[in-house]
Amino acid sequence: MAFTLLVLPAVAQAPPPTAPAAAKPPSVVAGFPVNYDEALAGGYTLPDVLKLANGKPVKNAKDWNAKRRPELVKLYEEQQFGRTPGRPAAMSFDVFDKGTPAMEGKALRKQVTVYFSADRNGPKEDIVIYVPAKATKPVPLLLCINFSPNASIFNDPGIKLGEMWNRDKKKVPAQRGGGLGRMNIDGLLEKGIGVAGIYYGDIDPDFPGGLPFGVRAHYLKPGQAEPAADEWGAISAWAWGLSRAMDYLETEQSVDAKRVALYGVSRLGKTVLWAGVHDTRFALVVASCSGEGGAALSRRNFGETIAHMTAPSRFGYQFAANRAKYAEHPEQCPVDAHMLVALMAPRPVFLQTGDGDLWSDPKGEFLAAVAAEPVYKLLGKQGLGTDQMPKAGEPIFHDIGYHMHAGGHGTIPGDWVPITKYLEMYLHP
């Protein structure tokens, strides 16, 4: 299988430590010290995922589904990612490529523009979909949200070019290839799994001050200059865009909408976790190096913290404004990452990390997965089944899955072997 994907952000906000294991991580970021000493990381108590806000225990699946889950989703909306509007009434789909042989005959390609409003000059997103050419019935699909436009991600001259945000924060025509990382999808197509892509920059820009140029601006009420403190940041907007893609996929006959998995790296790893939690139509999530604000525990002081994440010069715009309240006091936040992982239950979730990606704290992601296990068990599913962190290259393929490669930030080609295996196990192509 020849996967070659390592997607990197296309804009000015290049992440600091995307380096291989050997590079020395920064000791101060945005004026805040960064801890990499295990001896100084602990000493926290996680909020109890199976205790209701009123103090009563969650005893069974019914309590979880009817009470605790909605309570936690609301807290995530209000305190971390921000509330989003629902499906726009005037949304429409333009299927401008109804099925063209692509990828050397291995796939059938479709392309769709989702117009988020009645205004065709208004905000919109392009979706490209590849279904295995030999498929005779609806296929499971991996929906990827990417840092680059579809024409840059997939090696296919038939893709509509689209536009991208450049480093000067201007929208310019996309580049084919683009040098930002390409995805070789042959291995997935061979296994009978379709692949679709969207570009996060179609939905909302990824830089401080980007608000006026994305979809969130269209929902500001008259006189409102920015979203309220509990309303969407950019991550919630990108997750909303994934839900709009799902709205289309529910109408797409070549795809089984009940078997759509999500994949994203880094800030888009955070995005796919939140999208999967918020929109239970998604069957499975693969979150790569999602780190702080994703699957890594915030109470654990290791690598990036809420303070680094929400510093105005950095990534505050990606979250609800309320998130910054917890910068100095993560222990006061009513939620932590084990709850985000748990909210995927009973659906499978695969956390892919790298042992050298200390900034995103692979151990913090492992410990969140361990602490999410009681919810999976309650729902009759299998958590990691261990509290001993596996070594790099020893993946766990349970309903909560975990895989750490030897190396730094992102998805490396070899990761596609366990990811594909996991998709096969749970999506049954």
Supply the residues annotated as catalytic.
Answer: 266, 409
Give strand pairing partners of 196.
129, 143
Nearer to ligand GCU, 15 or 210 (CB): 15
The least distance separating ligand GCU from the CB of residue 267, rounded to whole angstroms, comes to: 3
Q: Which of 69, 267, 278, 403 binds ligand GCU (CB under 6 A)?
A: 267
Beta strand pairing call for 396-397 and 400-405: antiparallel
Nearer to ligand GCU, 309 or 378 (CB): 309
The least distance separating ligand GCU from the CB of residue 354, rounded to whole angstroms, comes to: 12
The residue range among 9-17, 101-109, 229-237, 320-328 that interacts with ligand GCU, by the rule CB under 6 A, is 9-17
Return the number of other C-beta atoms located less than 10 Å from residue 95's C-beta: 15
The least distance separating ligand GCU from the CB of residue 19, rounded to whole angstroms, comes to: 11
CA dist 424 → 57, 129, 285, 342, 427 (Å): 36, 19, 13, 22, 5
Maximal CA-CA distance, the chain: 59
**What's CA 384's distance to the chain center, in Å?**
20
The least distance separating ligand GCU from the CB of residue 375, rounded to whole angstroms, comes to: 24
Interface with ligand GCU, residue 291, by CB under 6 A: yes
The least distance separating ligand GCU from the CB of residue 356, rounded to whole angstroms, comes to: 14
Q: Which of 256, 304, 365, 415 binds ligand GCU (CB under 6 A)?
A: 304
Interface with ligand GCU, residue 26, by CB under 6 A: no
**Binding string, 220-259, against ligand GCU, x = CB under 6 A?**
----------------------------------------
- Cis geometry, peptide bond prior to residue 346 (ω within 30 degrees of 0): yes
Interface with ligand GCU, residue 16, by CB under 6 A: yes
281: its two tokens: 């139509």
The residue range among 8-16, 38-46, 81-89, 178-186 that interacts with ligand GCU, by the rule CB under 6 A, is 8-16
Interface with ligand GCU, residue 323, by CB under 6 A: no
Nearer to ligand GCU, 398 or 409 (CB): 409
Which residue is associated with the tokens 């992102």? 410
C-alpha–C-alpha distance, residues 284 and 344, integer Å: 8
The count of residues in the chain is 429
φ/ψ (deg, to 5) at 352: -105, 130
Q: Which of 266, 288, 322, 352 binds ligand GCU (CB under 6 A)?
A: 266
Interface with ligand GCU, residue 292, by CB under 6 A: yes
CA dist 120 → 93, 117, 210 (Å): 11, 7, 21
- In sequence order, the 6+-apart residues with CB closer than 8 A to the CB of 359 are 15, 16, 17, 25, 26, 34, 291, 303, 304, 409
Site residues for ligand GCU, 345-384, by CB under 6 A, read 359
Residues in contact with ligand GCU by CB under 6 A are: 9, 15-16, 266-267, 291-292, 304, 309, 315, 359
